[in-house]
Structure 1
Amino acid sequence: MKLYYSPGACSLSPHIVLREAGLNFDLALASTKTKKLADGSDFYQVNPKGQVPVLELDNGERLTEGPAIVQYIADQVPMSKLAPPAGSLQRYRLMEWLNFITSELHKSYSPLFNPAMPEEGKAVYRARIGERLQWVDSQLEGKQYLLGDEFSVADAYLFTVTNWSKVVGVDMGALKNLNAFRDRVAARPSVRAAMEAEGLNKA
């Protein structure tokens, strides 16, 4: 398998999950700005949407969209317990979290990276993210991870998007449960290895 990624982008989530699952994979650097691969070729030929992540399977098929990719990876190694069994209520709880992170968090951070977005607009998005993160903080009360004591693909995704907070000025200082969660995730060997491979410094 091959993962097309950009350092620190949402592709960090499936990168972590691949390492958690213990699967063999190659990394392919894709620029989200120039839409070029490391060899200068056109990334749009890989993904017409021009976005990471893309997971290229051994048979040449490609999967896009992070929440779909991480569930696919988890299902290749069920004993890893990175996702509850298909059809179980807990699996739907996982999808509930993945959808929340995608729609309420991930996409709310995006305007903060847009230089064309006026500061007044960015303030609205920072406030919205802050409200959502307060709710996430409350859901982590008394839990190690989003689904309980077991690390799941949703945890990799939440860790990835909340990594952007400091860069775009979202204050998480008062969110004790979320910060403790982030420390636990950051300490995992797979996360340290992925961060190192992408040239990221621990925040």
Structure 2
Amino acid sequence: MKLYYSPGACSLSPHIALHEAGLAYEGILTPTKTHKTPDGTDFYTINPLGYVPFLVLDDGRTLHEGPAIVQYIADLVPEKNLAPANGTFERYKLQEWLTFIGTELHKGFSPLFAPGTPDEVKTSTKERLMVRLAWVDDELAGKDYLLGDAYSVADAYLFTVTNWARLVGVDISGFTNLGTYRARVGVRPAVVAAMKAEGLIK
């Protein structure tokens, strides 16, 4: 498998999942600013959408949405328990979290990274994010992970997205449950390994 990624972007989530799964893969650095691979190839010729993550299987089939990619990875190694079994209520809860993180948090951060976003839009965007993050903080009360005691690929996604807060001036220091949770996820060996692979930590 090949994973096209950009350091610290949402592709960190499947990068973590691959380490958690212990699967062999080739990570291909594809910075979002240049859209060029290390050999100079225009990434748009590989993925017409031009964004990461992008997973290419050994047989040439591809996946290009993070929530789908991480579930695919999890299902390759069911013994690792990175996702509840398909068809169970718990699997739908996982999908609920992946959808929420993707639509309410991930896309919620997007205007804060976009050049030229007016200050008033940034202010309203941050206010909306804080409301959503406060809800997440409440949901984490008494839990180790989003699904309770069991770590899942949704946790890697939430960790990845909340990493962006400090980069764009969103202060999450007041969310005690989220802070404890982030510390717990952040020390997992697979998370550390993926972040080191992306040059985010030493």
Q: Distance in 2 between matches of 1:84 and 1:131?
A: 28
In the superposition, the TM-score normalised over structure 2's length comes to 0.98
Q: Distance in 2 between matches of 1:42 and 1:123?
A: 35
* Cα drift, residue 33 of structure 1: 1.5
Q: Distance in 2 between matches of 1:84 and 1:74?
A: 9
In the superposition, the TM-score normalised over structure 1's length comes to 0.98
Give the letter for the 2:113 counterpart. Answer: F
Partner of 2:25: 25
Identity of aligned residues (%): 62
Give the letter for the 2:71 counterpart. Answer: Q
Give the letter for the 1:141 counterpart. Answer: A
Q: Report how many aligned residue pairs link the two structures.
A: 202
Q: 3-state SS of the aligned residue for 2:79?
A: helix
Q: 3-state SS of the aligned residue for 1:55?
A: strand
Partner of 1:41: 41
Pairs within 5 Å for 1:56-95:
56-95=56-95
Q: 3-state SS of the aligned residue for 2:28?
A: strand
Pairs within 5 Å for 1:21-170:
21-170=21-170
Q: 3-state SS of the aligned residue for 2:102?
A: helix
Q: CA RMSD in A?
A: 0.8
Give the letter for the 2:198 counterpart. Answer: E
Off by >6 Å, runs of 4+ in structure 1: none
Q: Distance in 2 between matches of 1:42 and 1:114?
A: 21
Give the letter for the 2:173 counterpart. Answer: G
Q: Distance in 2 between matches of 1:26 and 1:41?
A: 16
* Cα drift, residue 201 of structure 1: 2.9
Give the letter for the 2:159 counterpart. Answer: F
* Cα drift, residue 7 of structure 1: 0.2
Q: Distance in 1 between matches of 2:115 and 2:45?
A: 27
Instruction: Return 5+ residue gaps in structure 1 as ranges.
Output: none
Q: 3-state SS of the aligned residue for 1:60?
A: coil
